[in-house]
Amino acid sequence: MSESRTYGLALARDLIRVEVDSVMYALEIARIREIVNPLPLIALPREHAAVLGVSDYREEVVAVVDLRRVFGLAPQEPTRRTKWLILKTRRGLVAVVVDAVHDVFSSENNRQRHVPMLDERHLERGIKSAYRYHERLVFLLDADRVAQPAFEIAPDEIPFLPSEMP
């Protein structure tokens, strides 16, 4: 396969569709390192309400941000469909919890729509725009913005993982 054809295919499917409380959201595939099942958590004192804690992901400590909490929804026990998206952000890796991961799609074939600012929490939610995909609106999230609560943890509040204790 030619390099230009490979590049074209990569651009053809650039967003991944995820679900949080029956609403469809999307993240840029280029920002996702991996999709994993929930891992063991270590709770942190005084963390941001959206941060569940930290976890040991491939020998790195990553903060875990629950999108349900970012969006002001009630917490939910993980199900078989619950996934963590390990996001590459400007400040490091962060795990983001979603209710389900669905599929990938192209932003190129789906006309981007502007989303009006509905309330003061609009920017906190990190919604950049929307697309229509399979007759539903899908809201594109800013990976850095939804991961932001993870970086509001003071470094001295991050505990050692059990494997790192002296």
**Position 166 in a domain:** no
Which CATH number does the domain housing residue 110 bear? 2.40.50.180
With a cut of 80, say whether residue 148 has pLDDT above it: yes
Return the pLDDT at 150.
87
Please give the average per-residue pLDDT across 138-145, as a whole number: 91
Kindly report whether the global pTM for this prediction surpasses the value 0.85.
Answer: no
**Position 163 in a domain:** no
**Position 77 in a domain:** yes
**Position 88 in a domain:** yes
Report d(CA 26, CA 142) in Å as an integer: 9
**Position 8 in a domain:** no
With a cut of 80, say whether residue 28 has pLDDT above it: yes
**Position 58 in a domain:** yes
With a cut of 70, say whether residue 6 has pLDDT above it: no
Total count of domains within the chain: 1
**Position 5 in a domain:** no
Q: What is the mean pLDDT of the chain?
A: 82
Task: For tokens 């913005």, name the residue.
Answer: 145
With a cut of 90, say whether residue 94 has pLDDT above it: yes
Q: For 49-93, how does the pLDDT look when each residue is reduced to its tens digit (9 = 90+)?
A: 899 999 999 989 999 999 999 888 998 999 999 999 999 998 899
By residue range, what is the domain housing residue 121?
14-158
**Position 130 in a domain:** yes
Distance between terminal CA atoms of the chain?
51
Helices (H), the chain: 3-12, 67-70, 122-125, 143-147
- The first and second tokens of residue 83, run together, are 């996934």
